[in-house]
Structure 1
Amino acid sequence: MAEQFFDVAVVGGGPAGATCATLLAKKGHHVLLVEKEKFPRYHIGESTVPGVLPVFEELGIADEMKKHAFVKKRGITLVWGQGREPWDVDFADAGPLTGPYDHAYQVVRSEFDSILLANARHCGVTVLEDTTVVDFLFEDERCCGLKYTRSGKASTVRARFVVDASGQNTLLARRYNLLEWDEGLKNVAIWAYYQGGKTLPGRNAGNILVENMYDSWLWVIPLHDGTHSVGLVMPAENAGGKQALEQQFEETLENSVETKKLLVAAQRVSNYRTARDWSYKSQRFYGPGFLLTGDAAGFVDPLFSTGVFLALRGGSLASAAIDRLLKTPEREAEVLKRYEESYRDFFDVVISFVHYFYDASKEKEAYWHRAQELIDPIEQMTSRQDFIRLISGQAGIVDVMRLDTTEKVNL
């Protein structure tokens, strides 16, 4: 078989990889995407934030998302802080700087991720599923392609640039021993699906419920298939084995207040699933001939449902950087440096705020003021608006995660 050549080879067909590949193809580049699984496939991470909506528009799937049956998420309902009464965050209250983005979606990831991957194909990306990347090609220390196996056959592909969007497999970060673990956010999650549960009343019906349980927290996410995703996040050091973790989950549900109300008539209809929820980031987000995006660059605790946002926005940011460096190769180092700075700046803001928020002993206004300190120190907005902007991903869009903030880079 003749050696293949592409402008860009993307490893991973999740939200980050599909977004990056699609946007590069729409800009006229010849793009290969290699995905180890066959879609549709299961994935956790069902709650999104309004910061994804502009990327849907970029991708050309905004109308499809509106027509799909996904539950519209207008905000978050929290049982957190000194008071034990629930308090609501409505995305529509974020203020004038955020534009028209007043909602998000609760998605079944097998359906959502398939929409993204199908759109990549539609836009001209060559998509290979059931395909495993076994190595990266390097020449003079520059990444220049991939080796992969498909249906038992080995193949080699060369590319002008390579994107690692391999999710928590973090292929290139592990190759270079770049992963840094956040010692304060080493958690474990256990979850299951329930049928027959209630939703919150009125406009909050599509909200995610997040209930603090002092040394852990619960989520409840309503899904359009009639189930609720219900999960528990707790420090890994407090978790026992699988059987003990399941018992802890059931006991925590029983001791909850708001979660228990929503599940009073519900029945568990799935097995338990568990995952290590350790936050991390790579020491570097790029190297000669490659960059990392999505979970391959870093993973943030799921408290504010920022995972899909970071994947989509990171993929969009990566596509803009790669488009520029392919057109002006002499500026590659400059462009990649700006990509990393922009991505890392927002990532670090989110991590910092998650650490602060995990102290559930504060009044809710303290969380609002901390958000303002991080994203709006000159107080253009109210502290509550800044809190909403930060947790909805909209501060990242207008303030931080962009490549065109300096005349020098001019992206």
Structure 2
Amino acid sequence: MSSRQFDVIVIGGGPAGSSAAGLLAKKGVNVLLLEREKFPRYHIGESLITGCIEVLEELGVRDRVEALGFVRKYGGSLVWGKDGRWNFSFDHGQPEYPHAYNVRRADFDALLLTRARELGAEVVEEAVVKEPVIEDGRVTGVRYAVRGGGEQEVRASFVLDASGQGRALGRHVSEVQWHDDLRNVAVWTYYQNGESLTGDEAGNIFIEHVPGGWFWYIPLNDGTHSVGFVTPVDEAKASGLDLPALFAAKIAESVHVKHLLAEGRQVSAFRNARDWSYTCERFTGPGWMLVGDAAGFVDPLFSTGVTLAMMAARAAADAVPHILADPAREEAVRERYENSYREFLGNIISFVRFFYDAGLDRKAYYEYAQALVDPKKLFFPREDFVTLISGLNRLRPIFDLSGDPAPAGPSGTAGSGSEAGPSDVVPDTVPDEPVPAPA
């Protein structure tokens, strides 16, 4: 079996994989991206948060995202806790990024994949990864088959798994730890003629807590709304209803979503997903890293999935060129990536668990966010709340691997003469565990 050689193989062409491949190629790294599907393809996860904007700018596609006419999302509106209905705005946390977007994932993901190609990554669609190539404990490549074709083997100095919950590489090298207290099921569909929020709330995701779960209500640029219900798996089973019937029953129990859909007409079939929240035991190992949902997924309450995936992709694209330029630094760079990733995931998971107590007021939610990201209380609690759920952290930039640009990989030219030492790549160790709840 013949084998081609690359600097990096990226498995998966979603936001994580396309962002990583594009940013690596931009640095002069020789990248192969293998994507299982043919784009465009459907995917849930329409609501973005502002932490992804910097990545879009680095990829050079923010203007293209704007040109697609996606709904601008300036914050969120909630019916949650003792305060009833309330809202937040992204500019309360980071004024330079006042809005994100509600996107059609088929269009958004296709744009990112196209950009990876433009930046120089070789992209193969309908490529099903069969297994990793592992030699002396190190991942050195993968075996894959293009639909309708034979199996091929490709080699690389490093492999990134951005294949989502399928974990094409991750399932061979790391076990999964499910968060049993966040074992939820989601059921969703799409409506036309639903009522939209107005004024300062226009474009916001709307979240309403109801007995036993919560609804999301997301406006899209074609006039439809994505509407989903999330509930614990045990609650769904105990109801004795199938998921579409449970969805309808909970709509009837709602106050606001029921009103917003009074004139709405369902225009798609129901879809569902189960057991969303998990973390892999390892995010890195010799020759490999997990990125995005391949590493872990947090409950969708704050729409962190796509943004976290893109931020992790940027981190990997910063880290891997250091490893390619100086393999002796690999373990230290991988450790920094793992610790930083776990810290952010840990904070989000901790905050989601705290927020699921719908008997508290906004002040409690704000103060808990502050305890996680700003324990010295340098900013107002409301600012820290918005900073956390935006995927941003002005006090410790997430995945900040180095103060200097990463050198290009072996196939590149820019930055190949970097003299940065290990201390430039691996700052002081970041704690793995989230901050406990304030007393």
SS of the equivalent of 1:395 reads coil
1:222 corresponding residue in structure 2:
219
CA distance in 2, matches of 1:396, 1:43: 31
Using the size of structure 2 for normalisation, the TM-score is 0.90
Residue type matched to 2:290 in 1? L
Going from structure 1 to structure 2, the CA distance change for 1:279 and 1:329 (only over 3 Å counts) comes to same
2:87 corresponding residue in structure 1:
88
1:231 corresponding residue in structure 2:
228
Q: Which moved more, 1:11-20 or 1:255-264?
A: 255-264
Going from structure 1 to structure 2, the CA distance change for 1:242 and 1:327 (only over 3 Å counts) comes to farther
**1:174 alignment partner, one of 152, 171, 176:** 171
SS of the equivalent of 2:331 reads helix
Q: Which moved more, 1:376-385 or 1:239-248?
A: 239-248
2:44 corresponding residue in structure 1:
44
Going from structure 1 to structure 2, the CA distance change for 1:183 and 1:396 (only over 3 Å counts) comes to farther
Please state how far the C-alpha of 1:402 moved relative to its aligned partner: 1.5
CA distance in 2, matches of 1:198, 1:127: 41
**2:333 alignment partner, one of 332, 335, 341:** 335
1:292 corresponding residue in structure 2:
290
Using the size of structure 1 for normalisation, the TM-score is 0.96
In 2, are the aligned partners of 1:137 and 1:143 still within 8 Å (CA)? yes
Per-residue deviation, residues 143-169 of structure 1 (Å, max 9, x unmatched) = 100100012211110111101111001
In 2, are the aligned partners of 1:133 and 1:149 still within 8 Å (CA)? yes
Residue type matched to 2:272 in 1? T
Please state how far the C-alpha of 1:399 moved relative to its aligned partner: 3.4
SS of the equivalent of 1:211 reads strand
**1:138 alignment partner, one of 134, 138, 141:** 134
Please state how far the C-alpha of 1:83 moved relative to its aligned partner: 3.1
Residue type matched to 1:88 in 2? N
SS of the equivalent of 1:343 reads helix
Please state how far the C-alpha of 1:278 moved relative to its aligned partner: 2.5
Aligned pairs for 1:191-340 within 5 A: 191-240=188-237, 244-340=242-338
Residue type matched to 1:379 in 2? K
CA distance in 2, matches of 1:267, 1:350: 35
2:424 aligned with 1:410, yes or no?
A: yes
Residue type matched to 1:53 in 2? I
In 1, are the aligned partners of 2:2 and 2:152 still within 8 Å (CA)? no
CA distance in 2, matches of 1:405, 1:256: 49
Please state how far the C-alpha of 1:401 moved relative to its aligned partner: 2.7
Please state how far the C-alpha of 1:203 moved relative to its aligned partner: 2.4
Residue type matched to 1:52 in 2? C
SS of the equivalent of 1:184 reads helix
CA distance in 1, matches of 2:174, 2:69: 42
SS of the equivalent of 2:182 reads strand
Per-residue deviation, residues 211-255 of structure 1 (Å, max 9, x unmatched) = 011320000000012110000000011214996211110011111
In 1, are the aligned partners of 2:129 and 2:168 still within 8 Å (CA)? no
5+ residue gaps in structure 2? 405-420, 426-439
In 1, are the aligned partners of 2:158 and 2:288 still within 8 Å (CA)? yes
Going from structure 1 to structure 2, the CA distance change for 1:396 and 1:20 (only over 3 Å counts) comes to farther
- How many residues are aligned here? 407
CA distance in 1, matches of 2:335, 2:396: 20
In 1, are the aligned partners of 2:392 and 2:398 still within 8 Å (CA)? no
Residue type matched to 2:383 in 1? Q
CA distance in 2, matches of 1:398, 1:194: 40
1:149 corresponding residue in structure 2:
145
Between the aligned residues of both structures, percent identity stands at 47
1:372 corresponding residue in structure 2:
370
Please state how far the C-alpha of 1:403 moved relative to its aligned partner: 1.3
2:67 aligned with 1:71, yes or no?
A: no
Per-residue deviation, residues 350-388 of structure 1 (Å, max 9, x unmatched) = 000000000000011100000001000111111111111
2:387 corresponding residue in structure 1:
389
1:350 corresponding residue in structure 2:
348
1:116 corresponding residue in structure 2:
112
Please state how far the C-alpha of 1:398 moved relative to its aligned partner: 4.7
Going from structure 1 to structure 2, the CA distance change for 1:212 and 1:379 (only over 3 Å counts) comes to same
SS of the equivalent of 1:239 reads helix
Please state how far the C-alpha of 1:175 moved relative to its aligned partner: 1.6
SS of the equivalent of 1:40 reads coil
